[in-house]
Amino acid sequence: MSTAALAIAALLAASLPGSYACEIAQTTVVTENGVLSGAPNQFPEAHRPGWRFGVEVRERANATPEVEVRWPPASLIELGGTYAAVVLEPNHLVVTAMARSCLFGSTNCPVLIQLAAREDGSLGFTILPTGLTRRARGSSELTQMNIIFTGSCRRQNGS
């Protein structure tokens, strides 16, 4: 295959529109003091089904792309919804979502979700939520605790 053909194939493969099955692979806990050492960065296998979700990226004429997030309703962070995306650069999008269940905040839970196309047709994602936790056991004072989720999305057949 020529260099030009390879470049075109890579461009097509790194295109975002389509449906994807996503799974969180890593978590990182960031507090006011930096990374919380010792916090688990992966989920136990038994919990994995609760950390899978679906994403559909749709192009729209004369408008920004739209991202539909389908998250199991019983999961801990309910980010399901359809959101207009901001293009960070070609094939890299970010949406602002509002979690319905405030696991990491008490009144409103804004979350950034970044999606990045890879050359193999899959996506990488990062979920950046706001977050709070009690400063100490039994304390009513809240302090920042942001749990960053990263993982991959596999393109679903035919999309």
Tokens of 146: 């942001």
124 binds another protein (CB under 8 A): yes
**103 lines the binding site for another protein (CB under 8 A):** no
CA distance linking residue 28 with residue 10, whole number of Å: 31
Q: At a CB cut-off of 8 Å and minimum separation 6, what does 35 contact?
A: 28, 29
Residue that the structure tokens 């359809």 belong to: 82
Instruction: Give the residue, chosen from 62, 141, 157, 158, that forms a contact with another protein under the rule CB under 8 A.
Output: 141
Q: How far is the CB of 95 from another protein (least distance, A)?
A: 10
Buried b (16+ CB within 10 A) or exposed e, 40-68: eeebeeeeeeebebbbbbeeeeeeebbbe
Nearer to another protein, 76 or 88 (CB): 88
CB of 11 to another protein, least distance (A): 10
Question: Taking the mean position of all CA atoms in its chain, how far away is CA 68?
Answer: 12
40-69: contacts with another protein (CB under 8 A):
41
Out of 105, 147, 153, 155, the only residue in the binding site for another protein (CB under 8 A) is 105
Q: Which is nearer to another protein, 75 or 130 (CB)?
A: 130
Q: Which residues pair with 22 in a beta bridge?
A: 53, 153
Residues forming the site for another protein (CB under 8 A): 10, 14, 26, 28, 30-35, 41, 86-90, 92, 94, 96, 105-112, 114, 116, 118-119, 124-126, 128, 130-132, 140-144, 146, 148, 150, 152
